[in-house]
Amino acid sequence: MSLQATKEHGVFSWNELVTTDVPAAKAFYRAALGWELEDLNGGGMDYTMAKLGQREVGGIMAVPKDAPDMPPAWGSYVTVDNVDARVARIAPLGGKVLVAPRDIPNVGRFAVIADPQGAMLALITYFKKE
């Protein structure tokens, strides 16, 4: 999949592991899938980029401090044209907004929603690169 395709509205564009044990997860996925892992520290959050060669394929991070009961899980992001406008549609459709829209510095604006059955999904509008 080309980078352009991942930024198209309605397309799954990113996968991210949130876990209680980042070092163990890194060791597991490095051995199991052959991922190269690059630690990124910034914006008050530690993040590990998973790569196949030069291609970024996902991310790994610790469970956020404000969600201590969250179980380890993989989450997916879908690119949307305007995250704030899309999130405004969620409650009237029977869903819930779990994380209100907020910025990821130098990446984009995201939110986390749940559908009426409770399945979670992250939505993201990537910032345009100058």
Tens of pLDDT, residues 54-95: 899 999 999 988 888 989 999 999 999 999 999 999 999 999
What is the percentage of the chain residues whose pLDDT exceeds 70?
A: 94
Q: Per-residue pLDDT for 30 more than 60? A: yes
pLDDT for the residue numbered 47: 93
Q: What is the pTM of this model?
A: 0.85
User: Two tokens at 38?
Assistant: 């690059």
Cα distance between the two ends of the chain: 22
Query: Is 100:111 a contact under the CB 8 Å cutoff?
Result: yes
pLDDT for the residue numbered 113: 97
pLDDT tens digits, one per residue of 35-49: 999 999 866 779 999
Q: What is the mean pLDDT of the chain?
A: 92
